[in-house]
Amino acid sequence: MNHYPLWKYLLILLVVILGVIYALPNLYAPDPAIQVSGQSSSANIDDQVMAKMTGALEGAGIEYFGGEASGESGLIRLTSREQQLPAKRLIQQALGSDYIVALNLAPTTPDWLAGLGASPMKLGLDLSGGVHFLLEVKTDEAISTRMESMAREVRSAMRKEKLRYSSVKLIDKRAIVSAFKTVEERGQAIGILRQNFRDLSRQLSEEDGLFVIHSSMTESSVRDIENYAIKQNLTTLRNRVNELGVSEPIVQRQGRNRVVVELPGVQDTAEAKRIIGKTANLEFRLEAESGKTINREKFEFKDPSGRMPDAWLEKSVVITGDHVSNAGTGFDESGLPQVDITLDSEGGARMHRASRKNIGRRLGVLFIEYKTHTEYSIDENGESVATHKRYVEKKIISLASIRSALGVSFRITGLDSPREASELALLLRSGALAAPMYFVEERTIGPSLGAENISLGIKSVTIGMALVLAFMFVYYRVFGIFANTALAVNLIVLVAVMSMLGATLTLPGIAGIVLTVGMAVDANVLIFSRIKEELANGLPPQSAINAGYDRAFTSIIDANLTTLIVAVILYAIGSGPVQGFAVTLSIGILTSMFTAIVGTRSLVNLVYGGRTIKKVWI
């Protein structure tokens, strides 16, 4: 009676050993660091770039160590978190706007633990920071784009009705000015506008002997476009964040035209900034025909041989990246990277019509990227001041002949590297931006406050656990020692499981751990109380121990199962901190049932099992 077979003891020992191994990385605090990557995916971080970084730090007297360069990114570890922001500004000044400089926390997990796949828990913004971005959506650009499209549609509608007009022009990208020679022609135009363009308000005037209609977008239509642009950008950002694999991110609207993105526990903040801030889109345009100088634009283009010839594309757009429903990477016949694109039905129909009529002509893929150039200057107080200048960069990434009518599926070639192809596919797959966005603010969330929160969290867990340990020892004596040992193992296993799952620990998560500490001994209280009752009823110690564990088991399962159901519901309907609390509570319930029932039973069996006893200290 009260004896486990050897395999059960070995299983419990294995769980404890694995728990210790996978919980250990949490004892190694990460180093504050500065991480650098190129604005473009083809940029390389070499020794020369690292020398500029270290030189800037040495010139300012900022202590650093452990410089690492991987080709795609570079990392320098600092000795103090207080030096991160000054170091970031200095390095950004030294490298210029061609590089992204971001704050980071570099792991210090020993190689032998990392080799076993052990890594520390990710900490939320309220504990270790992470990264906070505030982006501004340029809704004016979305409105301007819509007005340009409507101007073309107005001309097309009037030509379709065979209505003669002197001119139809877009003024300041805000108003469509249509001029006619007679009042009758203007009246016909008003009917066309009223029937087909209800989003436009109209004002009539006479200018230079012409009868003019000033058409502008109504306030409600402007607000609808702004709301659509914000919602589409939010969806796109959430898709990009999901591609990054960030736990418990926050992507939400702030005010009329701003978006907040918070990424807790991010290790590669430079990559996150580059992907999230990549306000890029694609336009598919036909190459302008020779001899036609109207309605065309010249763009930068690098052909496969590396030359930079002039390339002219028509201003009219066949389709944009909005119509891309899926994108993946692959390699062409020459082993060069390519992006395989699938369009939605509307995009496929447009592409088919345009390509069917233009077989033999070349189709250009125009990559449009909205960037910010940062310049630093010294103000009158001797402090560094950053000035942000926004600009648009357009380049042709592919210019290939149309050999047959295209449909919903085709490919983009001419990319520099597999990484560039992967990044472009990610941007297309996550959705196009309805309007460009620019970084307004970038910061880490309170590293000093996070350290204080961690300290308070550890203190709360320590105090709570100390009180529970003291109570169990005083009230249940030797059996209290068994329960306390199982409680310590439970805490280790809980931390190990959360680390293995990649869960993000937040302040509510710490609250869940504190609650778990209290609940973990609840099962032992039921078991030990039952043993006391059986002893009081005259059962022998061995029989009382066996009956205590067997008869309390059903009550323990019922109590923990109901709590687990509530935790699952919290996770399903909650978000952010609520989900963090639910995850910690759920894992804590499962680990505490194992340690409280199986763990303490094994200790009791080791001490009392298989021998005759007359009294137990409980």
3-state class (DSSP) for residue 254? strand
Q: Which of 228-237, 298-307, 313-322, 604-613 has the lowest mean pLDDT?
A: 298-307
pLDDT at 18 over 90: yes
> According to CATH, where is 3.30.1360.200 located in the chain?
278-438
Contacts of 304 (CB under 8 A, 6+ apart): 414
pLDDT at 526: 87
Q: Per residue in 219-238, pLDDT tens? A: 888 888 888 888 878 877 88
pLDDT at 117: 87
| 31-106 carries CATH number 3.30.70.260 | yes
Mean pLDDT over residues 470-481, rounded?
Answer: 87
Structure confidence at residue 37 as a pLDDT band (50, 70, 90):
confident
Structure confidence at residue 543 as a pLDDT band (50, 70, 90):
confident
Q: Per residue in 514-524, pLDDT tens? A: 888 777 788 88
Higher pLDDT, 120 or 437: 120
Q: Dihedral (C-alpha) 180, 182, 187, 189: value to the nearest 10 degrees?
A: -30
Decide: 409 and 325 in contact? Cβ < 8 Å. Answer: no
CA distance 264 to 271: 14
Structure confidence at residue 23 as a pLDDT band (50, 70, 90):
very high
pLDDT at 219: 87
Greatest mean pLDDT range, 69-78, 151-160, 260-269, 362-371: 151-160
Higher pLDDT, 449 or 617: 617
The amino acid at residue 100 is I
Q: Per residue in 149-205, pLDDT tens? A: 788 888 888 888 888 888 888 888 788 999 998 899 999 999 998 888 888 889 999
CA distance 62 to 80: 9
Burial of 473 (0-12, 13-18, 19+ CB in 10 A): middle
Average pLDDT value over all residues in the chain: 81
pLDDT at 289 over 80: yes
User: Left (φ > 0), alpha (ψ -120 to 50) or beta: where does 33 sit?
Assistant: beta
Architecture of domain 278-438: 2-Layer Sandwich (3.30)
Q: What percent of the chain has pLDDT over 70?
A: 87
Decide: 102 and 5 in contact? Cβ < 8 Å. Answer: no
pLDDT at 565: 92
Instruction: Give the CA count within 13 Å in the CB-facing half-sphere of 150.
Output: 26
pLDDT at 303: 66
The kind and range of the H/E element at 459 are: helix 447-501
pLDDT at 547 over 80: yes
The amino acid at residue 19 is G
Mean pLDDT over residues 296-311, rounded?
Answer: 74
Q: Per residue in 551-593, pLDDT tens? A: 888 888 888 888 899 989 988 887 667 877 888 889 988 898 8
> According to CATH, where is 1.20.1640.10 located in the chain?
6-25+446-608
Parallel/antiparallel/unpaired status of strands 384-401 and 362-378: antiparallel
pLDDT at 271: 61
Mean pLDDT over residues 414-425, rounded?
Answer: 72
CA distance 234 to 253: 8
Contacts of 447 (CB under 8 A, 6+ apart): 32, 81, 84, 128, 129
Structure confidence at residue 19 as a pLDDT band (50, 70, 90):
very high
Q: Per residue in 328-353, pLDDT tens? A: 888 877 778 888 888 888 888 888 88
pLDDT at 492: 92
Structure confidence at residue 129 as a pLDDT band (50, 70, 90):
low
User: Left (φ > 0), alpha (ψ -120 to 50) or beta: where does 59 sit?
Assistant: alpha
CATH topology for 6-25+446-608 is Multidrug efflux transporter AcrB transmembrane fold (1.20.1640)
Decide: 479 and 617 in contact? Cβ < 8 Å. Answer: yes
| 140-222 carries CATH number 3.30.70 | yes
CA distance 482 to 191: 88
SS3 content of the chain, % helix, strand, coil (to 5): 50, 25, 25
Structure confidence at residue 16 as a pLDDT band (50, 70, 90):
very high
DSSP code, position 594: I
